[in-house]
A and B are shown apart, each in its own frame.
Chain A
Amino acid sequence: MNDLETLHDAWGTPEAPSGTAHAQARAALLARATSDGDHGHRSARRRLRPPRVRVRLLAVGASALAIAAGVTLVGNVGGTDVNGRPRPIISGLPTGPVANAAEALERAAVAAETRPFTAPRADQWIYTEDRITWSAGPRRRAVSRGWRRADGSQWASIENGRLRIWTRERRAPSLPWDYTTMSALPTDPGALLRWAYQQSGGPGEAEASEVYNLFNTILRNGGALPPRLEAAIFRAMKQIPGVTLVDGTVSVSGRPTLALGRVQDGWLYEQVLLDRQTYAYRGERSVVLTDHNPKDPSLEKGTVVLGVRIAAAIVDEPGQRR
Chain B
Amino acid sequence: MVRLGAVTHTTPDTDAALIGRSWQEPERFAAVFDRYYAAIHGYVSRRLGRSLADDVAQETFLIAFDRRKRYDVARSDARPWLYGIASNLISRHRRAEVRQYRAMARAGLVQAVDGHAERVVGRLDAEALRGRLAAALAAVADGDRDVLLLVAWAQLSCEEAAQALGIPAGTARSRLHRARTRTRAALGGADPRSDGEGAER
- Residues of chain A touching chain B, judged by Cβ–Cβ distance below 8 Å, are 2-8, 10-11, 13-18, 21-22, 24-26, 28-30, 32-34, 36, 38-43, 134, 137-139, 170-171, 173-175, 201-205, 209, 213, 217, 264-265, 268, 286, 292-293, 295-299, 305
Select one of B5, B81, B164 contacting A296, CB under 8 A.
B5
Distance A105 CA – B45 CA, assembled complex (angstroms): 43
Whether B21 and A298, one on each chain, are in contact in the complex, defined by CB atoms closer than 8 angstroms, is yes
Please indicate which of the listed interface residues B8, B26, B152, B187 has the most CB atoms of chain A within 10 Å of its own CB: B26
**What are 19 A-B contacts with C-beta separation under 8 Å?**
A4-B180, A4-B200, A7-B153, A15-B50, A17-B37, A17-B57, A32-B62, A33-B26, A33-B65, A138-B25, A171-B55, A174-B59, A175-B63, A202-B85, A203-B166, A205-B166, A293-B73, A295-B20, A296-B73
Q: A4-B152, A4-B200, A6-B187 are in contact. Are A299 and B85 (CB under 8 A)?
A: no
A10-B130, A170-B55 given; A203·B165 CB < 8 A: yes
Q: Are A174 and B89 closer than 8 Å at their CB atoms?
A: yes
**With the chains together, A42 CA to B62 CA distance in Å?**
11
A-chain residues with CB within 8 Å of residue B111 when the two chains form the complex: none
CB-CB under 8 A from B155, the residues of chain A are 8
How far apart sit A46 and B21, CA to CA, in the bound complex (Å)?
22
Interface check B189, CB cutoff 8 A: yes
Cβ contacts B166-201/A at 8 Å (1 or 0 each): 100000000000001001100101001000010011
Partner of A3, one of B27, B89, B165, B192: B192
The 10 tightest CB contacts between A and B, nearest first, are: A203-B84, A14-B42, A204-B166, A40-B66, A25-B58, A296-B20, A33-B26, A21-B54, A17-B41, A293-B73
- The residue in chain A whose Cβ has the minimal distance to the Cβ of B29 is A33
The interface centre, meaning the residue of B8, B152, B197 with most chain A CB atoms within 10 A of its CB, is B152
Chain A positions within 8 Å of B165 at CB level: 203-204
Please count how many residues in chain B sit with their CB below 8 Å of the partner chain's CB atoms.
72
Cβ–Cβ < 8 Å partners of B46 in chain A: 11, 14
Q: Which residue of B lies closest to A42 (CB)?
A: B66
Residue of A5, A14, A137, A264 touching B45 (CB-CB under 8 A): A14
- Chain A residue nearest to B21 (CB atoms) is A296
A26 B54 Cβ-Cβ under 8 A: no
Given A6-B133, A134-B24; A204-B197 close (CB under 8 Å) = no
Which residue on A lies nearest to B55, using beta carbons? A170
